[in-house]
Amino acid sequence: MRRLCALTFGLALALSTQAFAQDGGTRESVLSVPGPAGAQLNTRLCMPERAGAVPLVIVNHGSPANASARAGMEPWRCTSGVARYFLRRGYAVAFPQRRGYGASTGGWAETYGSCSNPDYASAGRRGAEDIAAVLTHLRSTPGIAQTGTLIVGHSAGGWASLAFAAGNPAGVSGVVNVAGGRGGRQPPGPGVVGSNCTPDALVSGVSRFAGARIPTLWLYTRNDSFFGPELAEAMFASFRAGGGNGRMVMLPAYGSDGHSLFAGGGEDVWGPPISSFISGLR
């Protein structure tokens, strides 16, 4: 029976690999990962060419402002700046798409209700369920270490990563939240860099993730049009007041909108604090 199960898993993994390429010492595959409630999560995996098991970093995407754009999203490639940054540091890099994004199935799970009375914490937990499913599956992949996992998320993916951290998952060494939050964007008022649909709900919602005891790094910029510095600092203060383990770095303004820092380049800005964070974990 064990041999049959092993053969079945190996066949499923082979069938789920939709693409396989080798570029500059990197093996790339696209997997269909079993998710919550029977969903299939489209995931690109980038493996460095080196002997032995390597730690994993799961990089979690944001959510487009226009809901109709979710279906057309694709996972970042192994040639992206983010992938190369972590590959150089010896990580395998996974870019999963959560339920309802791109080729992933299961329907969009991250709804948070109306703008007037949002439940942002619930949206974060649904995203965290998908992260957990990807982590469980990839730890069964040859060449992936069982410990030393790093979770990274941008925008809605950063929010989901903080929710995931609240569960203090075994084998996860740290979480990086880059410009995390939910609730879209409202036109800024006089003297305001950015504003949110219901900022107070974000501040109270993040306190629900304050059970995180694993280290977290929070990166925001001074000209983020979604989550400006005052809101980011209020969220971090709420997280820390509840006992959350975290450090915030407020980065300088980047381009015309700092919210694009991670997805649009800027490794010279976000790279040093993340490198310092990783060094402290090992």
Q: What is the dihedral of CA 58, 62, 68, 69, to 10 degrees?
A: -70
Task: Output phi, psi for 23, to 5 deg.
Answer: -145, 110
Dist CA 5 CA 24 (whole Å): 34
pLDDT digits (tens, 9 = 90+) for 237-263: 999 999 999 999 999 999 999 999 998
Dist CA 56 CA 215 (whole Å): 16
Cα separation of the two ends of the chain:
39
In this structure, which amino acid lies at residue 215? P
Distance of CA 105 to the CA centre of its chain: 18
pLDDT digits (tens, 9 = 90+) for 94-145: 999 999 999 999 999 999 998 888 999 999 999 999 999 999 999 999 999 9
Please identify which residue in the block is written with the tokens 């003297």. 191
Full residue range of the structural domain in which residue 226 is found:
2-281
In this structure, which amino acid lies at residue 53? A
Which CATH number fits the domain that encloses residue 38?
3.40.50.1820
Which percentage of the chain shows pLDDT scores above 90? Answer: 79
pLDDT digits (tens, 9 = 90+) for 83-95: 999 999 999 999 9
pLDDT at residue number 264:
81
Q: pTM to 2 decimals? A: 0.89
Dist CA 83 CA 256 (whole Å): 24
pLDDT at residue number 51:
82
Q: Tell which residue, 100, 256, 273, 86, has the closest CA to residue 178.
A: 273
Dist CA 163 CA 108 (whole Å): 17
Q: What is the dihedral of CA 98, 71, 144, 123, to 10 degrees?
A: -10
DSSP code, position 83: H
Number of domains, the chain: 1
